[in-house]
Amino acid sequence: MSGQSSNDDILLFVMRHGEAASLCLDDRSRELTENGRKQSIATARWLAKEYCQDNVIDLALVSPYRRTQQTLDMMTLDLRVNRKVICEDIIPEGNSQLAHDYLDALLASGGKEKGALKRVLLVSHMPLVSYLVDELCGLEATSLFSTASVAVISYSLRHQSGKLLLHYQGL
């Protein structure tokens, strides 16, 4: 398993939802396509193999949009999520700095509870996922995320910043 650099580090997985149907009337209601479901399952299997051999995610933060909820549902076919939080701050037009602040507060409080958080999955949308990775890691690269891709970050609670370990592009 890929290691963490200190005891306060968390593996943070920032993921874009799987492929969704074309926009019809309401962006919030867009559903995953069959390909989007397959992509989400493939990403979950990759995470299980590379970072979560016990198949456990301690905390999942997910946008309230239907396609992100469905992405997480597909991922839980292979991964167990101990706690799920629906987060209004991680929608497509969300503010990356506010999302970072919310994440820091949540992680700090979760780290003091029994069974501290070690692996956190955040499922959201473009462009927020790109801006959030830049914000969390102090980057100016603005990576593009294909559907169901995930950035793996070693995140330090002490320093409230992360190091991008890799960006998995999925199927």
Q: pLDDT of 150-165, one tens digit each?
A: 999 999 989 999 999 9
Q: Which of 12-26, 50-64, 99-113 has the highest mean pLDDT?
A: 50-64
> What's the domain count of the chain?
1
Give the CATH number, domain containing residue 67: 3.40.50.1240
Provide the token pair at 19. Answer: 């492929």
Question: CA-CA distances (angstroms) from residue 115 to 53, 55, 59?
Answer: 17, 16, 11
Examine residue 24 and state whether it is found in any structural domain, yes or no.
no
Examine residue 34 and state whether it is found in any structural domain, yes or no.
yes
Examine residue 4 and state whether it is found in any structural domain, yes or no.
no
Examine residue 45 and state whether it is found in any structural domain, yes or no.
yes
Q: Are strands 9-16 and 150-156 parallel, antiparallel or unpaired?
A: antiparallel
This prediction has a pTM of: 0.92
Examine residue 1 and state whether it is found in any structural domain, yes or no.
no
Q: How confident is the model at residue 115 (pLDDT cuts 50, 70, 90)?
A: low
